[in-house]
Amino acid sequence: MTLAAAVAARCRLTGTFVLRSGRTATEYFDKYQFEADPVLLDAIGAGLAPLVPPGTEVLAGLEMGGIAVVVALARHAGLPCAFVRKAAKPYGTNRLAEGTDLTGRRVLLVEDVVTSGGQIAISAAELRNAGAIIEHAVCVIDRQEGGTEALAAEGITLHALLTRQQLDR
């Protein structure tokens, strides 16, 4: 079974779903299903590793689904990680990103599923304001609903391990 077939079999649901972007979809990729499977998640990390652009210094996983993926990827890419919150926590360290420092470093954003690219764009803007250099992002699944184009407009190239088209085969 191919990786695309394994991911689709594990996480593709049909029905009516409201996505993070606010759009309604008739299918949903429940990323927690592949993230909860250690064998499949490890294969995803191995598959993502060749997509890491040269010069990347830090892998930054976006809360919440990108956290498991970034750890799996880091294991194969041999790069340090950061864990990016949707908002800086109002207590303790008050940080937006935990783990490895991102200031002045070339950071690859890691996400699970991309539809509109909205959360990547928001997080990239905040991290750039904090001094991170962000030109690329990777995801496990690109739903091919405009995220790649929206991110390109923000100066971010999206690299997808799998596309909706591949999962449809």
Residue positions in the annotated binding site for orotate? 115, 143
Binding site: which residues?
A: 20, 85-86, 89, 111-119, 143
Binding site for 5-phospho-alpha-D-ribose 1-diphosphate: which residues?
A: 20, 85-86, 89, 111-119
**What is the strand order of the sheet 133-142 is part of?**
97-99, 81-84, 58-62, 106-114, 133-142, 157-163
CA–CA distance from 67 to each of 39, 59, 97 (Å)? 16, 10, 11
